[in-house]
Structure 1
Amino acid sequence: MTEPRSNGQLSAAAGSDKKVTVVDQTDGEVALPELSGYVKICKPRYLGIRVFKRVYVVLKKTILQVYKVGG
């Protein structure tokens, strides 16, 4: 059985192989990632027939934008 390590040893071991990049930001502003991609939405219909609709979704800060895809 191994000996438990102290918190100082755990944080030193965990931080030795990782790099953190700081993004420039103004005071009070939190850096949020922008996510985007295609999503299939299922619309169940009568008698178990399912219709899948493909949309393009963009998430910026707290705004979710959904765009129709032609075709």
Structure 2
Amino acid sequence: MAANEIKVNLDLMNALIKLREASVVFDEQTDIISQESGREYIEESNTFNEGIYKCMDAISKMIGESAINGVYSLIPNRI
């Protein structure tokens, strides 16, 4: 795998980590706000989590594509 693909994967992994951190912070803050207000924010949490998961899914697909491209560049087709 070329250094370029490795860099892409590392950058995308870092993006996944940041999204996970954002998810944890959002959940923690939602819990605090819920305790203070006495209201549950289920719809808001679901909306946020759905968006985060869609982003994570897109990133993970790109990590896979990058890895596949790296393999194909290392081992070209034989004809």
Normalising TM by the smaller chain, what interval?
Answer: under 0.3
Q: RCO (CA 8 Å, sep 6+): is it higher in 1 or 2?
A: 2
* Higher Cα radius of gyration: 1
Which structure has the highest strand share of the two? Answer: 1
Q: TM-score scaled by structure 1?
A: 0.23
Instruction: Report the TM-score when normalising by structure 2.
Output: 0.22
